Structure 1
Amino acid sequence: MTTKLKPTLGALHLWGIAVGLVISGEYFGWSYGWGVAGTLGFLITTLFIAAMYTCFIFSFTELTTAIPQAGGPFAYSRKAFGDTGGLIAGMATLIEFVFAPPAIAMAIGAYLNVQFPGLDPKYAAVGAYIVFMGLNILGVKLAAMFELVVTILAVIELLVFMGVVSPGFTMSNFVAHGWAGSDGFSLSSVSGMFAAIPFAIWFFLAIEGAAMAAEEAKDPKRTIPRAYITGILTLVVLAIGVMLLAGGAGDWRKLSDINDPLPQAMKMIVGEHSSWMHMLVWIGLFGLIASFHGIILGYSRQFFALARAGYLPHGLAKLSRFQTPHRAILAGGVIGIIAIFCDGVNLQGMSLTAAMITMAVFGAIVMYIMSMLSLFRLRRSAPELERSYRAPGYPVIPAIALVCSVICLVAMLWFNPEIGGLFIAFMVAGYLYFLSTKSRRDDVANAEMVLESE
């Protein structure tokens, strides 16, 4: 059975995947950052993270166009640093993309629970997994077209939210109690800004996942840069606009620890029974669905790439009759559903959603560091690579992304030791499995050499 994915996606599809993977971060999750940093502290953190992501995407695109493979960061790090480097990036990316979907699924359940109070959010979350795993199995072009449609609807809905809320916005609401720990700026405010890093990253987390569809992109050297650059600009504008307007709608402290901050912010302006309010709840689901559905596509390609290279059981690289990695799709779904029902587990006093967000961010940050290190390494070790797109401002722009990522990782380990320890345990388990499967990777490498010689 073939293990080669078919190129069917254009630039617009890839933009839809890149933005759709992330856009749920504008609907929920980020407001937990207000709880630890205040609105002003979190605004500074968000601007820092937005700068990091902008530098990262402008640099990461060089890797994606030079090595358009389904593994994304795994493929880049493996070429730059060998099998061990590939393992680190691949495992980190897998953790990011496996732990983000259950957080989003729980938010989908919370949104549905607003309209149907008798519906258990957990069972709604499981239902979302079943539906969207099925859609991904039916074919990547169908999945990407669905992703594009719901992403466009989600962007429109965020613009509608900003338009409806803006007449009631006041800066006095936004700045009230704006610094963590006191009525004014203090040392605890700085601490809060660092502690809020995971929730600022949630605004942009997983945009790099479009790289995992690169093998299925038509003319990736042209379509991927267009998708990534327009995608990051779209997300920066939406993130800043949503955060400012929601924070100025009323007492932002009522929004800081919930999974549906936008409907609650709109309620402060138009009231609970407004038609605008009900529209936001229903159409707001599109933003969550876009990310949930897109990240399922992302994690399945990462499972597929790792299995194809011999890092995971080879069965996960099998393709269905629809030419989709169906076993990889189901594997990530099983892990996500188990995570949903671990609600009783307490990690650092966080809600389940906040803990899963933090775990996903740990994976993302390690992957960002490995990707930027790979960019620098490959510029020296593989000058023969065809680079139709080169990182602007090299080496300064990639260096900014790398330094910012290291700062984020250190801060997250300091403020989240339990989740950080669990993340390290997952990485160690992956490494032990890696050590035990060398013969399998050698067989895959030998098979690849035979194919290349034919």
Structure 2
Amino acid sequence: MASKATLGRQIMRRKPVDLLIAESTGDLDPTAIPLPPGAPESGGRSGVHLRRSIGLVQLSAIGIGATVGTGIFFVLNTAVPVAGPAVIFSFVIAAVTAGLTALCYAELASAIPVSGSSYSYAYATLGEVVAFGVGACLLLEYGVSASAVSVGWGQYLNEFFHDAFGFTLPDAVAQPPGDGGYVNVPAMVLVLLCCLLLVRGAKESARANAAMVGIKLCVLVLFVAIALTGFHSGNLKPFAPMGFTGVRLAASSIFFSYIGLDAVSTAGEEVKDPHRTLPRAIIIALVVVTVLYIGVAFAAVGAQKWSLFEGQQAGLAQILRDVTGQTWPSVMFALGAIVSIFSVTLVVIYGQTRILYTMGRDGMLPPRFAQVSPRTGTPVWNTVVVSAGVALLAGFVPLDVLADLTSLGTLVAFAVVSVGVMILRRTNPGLPRGFKVPGYPVTPVLSVGFCAYLIYGLHPLTFLMFGAWLVGAAWIYFGYSVKHSRVGRARLDHSGAGNPSS
């Protein structure tokens, strides 16, 4: 019984908020937490840590860049056949869920402005084993979603090449497996380009992303303006051919389109004035994304019969060609989609590397994940490993499997953040917060409820794959992480330092 009780205390130990913040600012006392053997000297010991170089505009662009394009360029092809024109309400349901969670993210990000996103928040509120599980969910949310987004890059490349130059890449190397392709070469090339840019530095990546976000916003506004000229009310009938069940199923599937809100909080250690900048950027990203998504969905289903969406390649560009009878709008849109997908893939891979960096610094993963290049201020080895994994998934795994896994991982992480807000209000009520959730505690409770509702709508096979993923994560945690946890080593070496409830 004693050994079980000891293990229970180990896996539920929490990381103090002041320690999280001290590590992020480089103010950590060298004796506060002993490093595992071979760990890099970071977090204030050698001055090699992530650099604060991102402002409000760039951070908002990170949120928008990781969100707009993640789904809107592709998801209508799978969501509209399920929900019909009522897919508009599917986007509203997903937006409400994302909005409730965004408010919770804004509070936690302003109180704990560190890298690691919901992994770090869970470590401070729910305990180590829950945090590691959230980290595993974030691997699905970021790594898998980057693959899901990059899969469609080849489709829009072909659309652009066809309309502009009259040729296309062979399906065998330009389409995802299961959709006429064998290996998705364009997706793998895209991931390689993102990797090279991220290795150069966070500031350079943020600037490039901000420029690409501006392009994609213009392209989507152009789509809405042109598509509305072909609007026919008859295309909205029947409005919900599959009933509300179809609306719910579509909402669950498209929720991965909102993961960019989480990406904002992964930059917590590289943001100027994070207590104010983080919550503002999250809310700005949410508003911009929601307006665009609903506008694009409404214009698309009004301009094209809902039954034509299924199996359509580069569907939004096709709608523009049909409405105008000309190729130039679709050429512009396809080019914008190419830039947009690059932006999304870049930011999502960026978010994944910062989460693994934080987990490596905590001893949850081998210490090499926390190594930062003194020249660029980026986790270079970490970025290369993540990019390699994303490229393999993008090249060889079908898109529909990737999208549902991403939605489930995202929803679980979002629900944990909402629970974390309520726990931190009780355990650390005096913690300075640059933003507080309005309507507390109703808002975080509703957020958890909406997340659970959307999880219920996912395909049963997704749960089996997710369960297998968590079993693998548990094997890593109990085989490595629980023994190498820096918080755990601190409590062994400093008796009485930080009890499990701290």
Supply the AA of the counterpart residue of 1:149. A
Name the counterpart of 1:349.
none
Q: Hey, what does 1:226 align to over in structure 2? A: 280
**Partner residue in 2 for 1:83:** 128
Q: Is the 8 A contact 1:35 1:257 kept in 2?
A: no
Is 2:431 the counterpart of 1:377? no
* Counterpart Cα distance in 2 of 1:13 and 1:259: 32
> Which residue is 1:317 aligned to?
370
Q: Out of 334-343 and 204-213, give the one that drifted further.
A: 334-343
CA contact 2:141–2:410 (8 Å) conserved in 1: yes
Contact 2:252 2:457 in 1 (8 A): no
Structure index of larger Rg:
2
Q: Work out the CA distance in 2 between the residues paired with 1:90 and 1:258.
A: 35
Are 1:39 and 1:178, in contact at CA under 8 Å, matched by a contact in 2?
A: yes
Asked if residue 132 in structure 1 is aligned to residue 194 in structure 2, the reply is yes
Alignment of 1:252-267 (within 5 A): 252-267=306-321
Provide the C-alpha distance between the structure 2 equivalents of 1:401 and 1:154, rounded to a whole number of angstroms. 29
CA distance in 1, matches of 2:441, 2:63: 25
Preserved contact between residue 22 and residue 206 of structure 1 (Cα < 8 Å): yes
1:106 Cα offset (Å): 1.2
Contact 2:100 2:443 in 1 (8 A): yes
Is 1:255–1:265's contact at 8 Å kept on the other side of the alignment?
Answer: no
Question: In the alignment, does 2:2 pair up with 1:2?
Answer: no
One-letter identity of the residue aligned with 1:142: E
Query: Matches of 1:378 and 1:23 in 2, distance apart?
Result: 31
Q: How many angstroms apart in 1 are the aligned matches of 2:336 and 2:91?
A: 25
Distance 1:330 1:75, change over 3 A: same
Residue 411 of structure 1 deviates from its aligned partner by 2.2
- Please state if 1:429 is matched with 2:475: no
Please say if residues 85 and 239 of structure 2, whose CA atoms lie closer than 8 Å, have aligned partners that are also in contact. yes
Distance in 1, matches of 2:486 and 2:74, equals 44
What residue in structure 1 maps to residue 393 of structure 2? 339
1:208-230 per-position Cα deviation (integer Å, ceiling 9, x unaligned) = 11100011000011111221111
1:151, distance to aligned residue in structure 2 (A): 0.6
Per-residue deviation, 1:447: 10
Q: Which runs of no fewer than 5 residues in structure 2 stay unpaired?
A: 1-40, 44-48, 162-166, 175-183, 498-502
In 2: Cα distance, 1:93 partner to 1:377 partner = 21
Partner of 2:342: 289
Change (3 A) 1:442 1:232: closer
Contact 2:188 2:395 in 1 (8 A): no
SS of 1:76's equivalent in the other structure is helix
CA RMSD for the aligned pairs? 2.0
- SS class of match (1:196): helix
Which stretch shows the higher mean deviation, 331-340 or 302-311?
331-340
2:349 aligned with 1:300: no
AA at the equivalent of 2:223: F
- 1:278 is displaced (CA, Å) by 1.1
User: 2:55 touches 2:271 (CA, 8 Å); kept in 1?
Assistant: yes
AA matched with 1:178: F
In the TM superposition, residue 442 of structure 1 has moved relative to its aligned partner by 4.0
Number of residue pairs matched? 430
Query: What is residue 184 of structure 1 aligned with on the other side?
Result: none
CA contact (8 A) 1:319 1:326 kept: yes
TM-fit CA distance, 1:405 = 0.6
1:444 and 1:6, CA in 2 relative to 1: closer, same or farther beyond 3 A?
farther
Instruction: Give TM-score scaled by structure 1 length.
Output: 0.90
Q: 1:393 aligns with which of 415, 419, 439?
A: 439
| Secondary structure in structure 2 of the residue aligned to 1:202 | helix
Q: Which amino acid aligns with 1:307?
A: G
Normalised to the residue count of structure 2, the TM-score between the two structures is: 0.82
Distance 1:228 1:449 in 2: 39
Q: Distance in 2 between matches of 1:372 and 1:54?
A: 11
Quickly say closer, same or farther: Cα 1:111–1:285, change in 2 above 3 A: same
Kept in 2, the 8 Å contact 1:20–1:151? The answer is yes
Matches within 5 A, 1:25-64: 25-40=71-86, 42-64=87-109
Per the TM alignment, residue 31 of structure 1 is displaced from its structure 2 partner at its CA by 3.3
Determine if contact 1:19/1:235 at 8 Å carries over to the other structure: yes
What SS is found at the alignment partner of 1:434? Answer: helix
Shift of 1:448: 12
CA displacement 1:61-89 (0-9 Å, x = unmatched): 00011011111101111110110121122
Q: In terms of mean alpha carbon deviation, does 301-310 or 360-369 score higher?
A: 301-310
Q: Give the conservation status (yes or no) of the 8 Å contact 2:50–2:377.
A: yes
Q: Residue in 2 aligned with 1:176? A: 237
Q: Deviations over 1:352-393 (max 9, x none)?
A: 112101111110011011111111111001113211211111
In 2, are the aligned partners of 1:59 and 1:398 still within 8 Å (CA)? Answer: yes
Deviation of the 1:280 alpha carbon: 1.0
TM-aligned CA deviation for residue 58 of structure 1: 1.6
Greater CA drift, 230-239 or 200-209: 200-209
Q: SS of 2:281's equivalent?
A: helix
Say if 2:138 is the partner of 1:93.
Answer: yes
Bigger share in helix: 1
Question: In structure 1, what is the Cα distance between the partners aligned to 2:321 and 2:492?
Answer: 58
Rounded to whole Å, the distance in 2 between the matches of 1:445 and 1:65 is 28
CA-to-aligned-CA distance 1:273-326 (integer Å, 9 cap, x gap): 432221111122122111111101111111111111111121111112311112
Task: Give the alignment of 1:327-366 within 5 angstroms.
Answer: 327-343=381-397, 352-366=398-412
Question: What is the rounded CA distance, in whole Å, between the counterparts of 1:448 and 1:149 in structure 2?
Answer: 49
Shift in Å at residue 443 of structure 1? 7.3
Distance 1:449 1:258 in 2: 61
* Alpha-carbon distance between aligned partners in 2 of 1:311 and 1:214, rounded to the nearest angstrom: 19
Is the 2:187–2:395 Cα contact (8 Å) retained in structure 1?
no
- Match status 1:151 vs 2:213: yes
CA contact (8 A) 1:92 1:366 kept: yes
Which residue of structure 2 lines up, in the alignment, with residue 347 of structure 1? none
Alpha-carbon distance between aligned partners in 2 of 1:216 and 1:235, rounded to the nearest angstrom: 23
Matches within 5 A, 1:140-219: 140-173=202-235, 175-181=236-242, 189-219=243-273
Return the offset for 1:205.
Answer: 2.6
Question: Could you tell me how far 1:36 is from its partner in structure 2?
Answer: 1.4
8 Å CA contact 2:188, 2:392 repeated in 1: no
Q: Secondary structure at the match of 2:396?
A: coil
Residues 76, 309 of structure 2: 8 Å contact kept: no
